[in-house]
């Protein structure tokens, strides 16, 4: 029988991982967004958690889109690069990133607006809806998500998981029988650090473009460059890296736990 988990199980695991990553990393995510806008990083303890509802409520549409496109790319794109090769995983991750950016753009716009302006999630959503700007940052989000998911997919599969069997909801060809305690946390954390170290300049542009509503994308890029050249694109690197390891590690631990303890019986039936 097929060894692939049903899509709904993958979405449930993804939502658990996304919620875990959000709860662990949101305060540092708020600090990153504010530093990228040139604001003080510390908005007060309560202010660190504004916008938290946006990524949590957006988990279902984002992960449904991500896993559906990831699996479609596994079937239709990966064979052109040789199944399970590094090139195939980069290509599959890029396709999934581009597709899921459509679901992520309004979620991220609401979150960033709430974090930077220190308003509630509902107020940020109403403001962006009235201005018809929920999808304004679609292009930079797509540009960010393509390398983001490509790098994460490649790192998890080919760099950090030689002795790590990750949850089948991600890689259904893997045998999930021999996972060990800290392996998902380490794999997720290392992949997160590699991902964010690579994409932070694009994320800086995306954040600025979301908030500077009268500036073109080209004007935003020029503005960041004039503020300090290449280092200006890496504003927020400290909180970003401090967040990326524990948040992404927590995500993989949550995914692994849900997959192992909630769907174990169903997986054993599929593998017979």
For the residues of 7-51, what is the DSSP string, one character each? HHHHHHHHHHHHHHHHHHHHHHHHHHHHHHTTS-S---TGGGGTT
Torsions phi, psi for 218 (to 5 deg): -65, -40
The answer to whether residue 164 scores a pLDDT higher than 80 is no
Tell me: the pLDDT tens digits for 199-241?
Answer: 999 999 999 999 999 999 999 999 999 999 999 999 999 999 9
Tell me: the pLDDT tens digits for 245-267?
Answer: 999 888 888 887 887 777 765 55
The answer to whether residue 174 scores a pLDDT higher than 90 is no
pLDDT of residue 271: 37
Beta-carbon count within 10 A of 1 CB: 7
Burial 45-72 (b: 16+ CB within 10 A, else e): eebbbbbbbbbbebbebbbbbbbbbbbe
With contact defined as beta carbons under 8 Å apart, do 86 and 154 qualify?
yes
With contact defined as beta carbons under 8 Å apart, do 55 and 22 qualify?
yes
Going by C-alpha positions, the residue among 152, 137, 122, 138 that lies closest to residue 17 is 152
């Amino acid at each position: 029988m097929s060894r692939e988990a049903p899509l709904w199980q993958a979405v449930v695991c993804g939502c658990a991982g996304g919620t875990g990553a959000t709860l662990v990393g949101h305060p540092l995510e708020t600090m990153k967004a504010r530093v990228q806008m040139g604001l003080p990083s510390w908005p007060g303890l309560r202010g660190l958690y504004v916008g938290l509802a946006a990524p949590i409520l957006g988990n279902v549409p984002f992960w449904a889109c991500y896993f559906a496109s990831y699996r479609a790319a596994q079937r239709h794109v990966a064979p052109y690069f040789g199944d399970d090769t590094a090139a195939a995983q980069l290509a599959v991750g890029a396709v999934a990133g581009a597709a899921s950016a459509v679901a992520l753009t309004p979620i991220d716009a609401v979150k960033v607006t709430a974090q930077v302006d220190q308003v509630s999630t509902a107020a940020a959503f109403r403001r962006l809806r009235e201005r018809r700007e929920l999808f304004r940052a679609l292009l930079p989000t797509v540009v960010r998500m393509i390398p983001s998911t490509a790098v994460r997919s490649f790192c998890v599969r080919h760099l950090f998981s030689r002795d790590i069997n990750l949850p089948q909801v991600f890689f259904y060809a893997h045998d999930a029988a021999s996972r060990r305690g800290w392996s998902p946390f380490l794999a997720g954390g290392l992949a997160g650090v590699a991902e964010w170290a690579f994409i932070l300049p694009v994320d800086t542009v995306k954040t600025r473009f979301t908030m500077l509503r009268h500036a073109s994308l080209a004007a935003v890029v020029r503005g960041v460059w004039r503020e300090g050249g290449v280092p200006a694109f890496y504003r927020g690197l400290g909180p970003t890296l401090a967040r990326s390891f524990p948040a992404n590690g927590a995500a993989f631990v949550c995914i692994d736990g849900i997959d192992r303890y909630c769907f174990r019986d169903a997986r054993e039936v599929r593998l017979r």
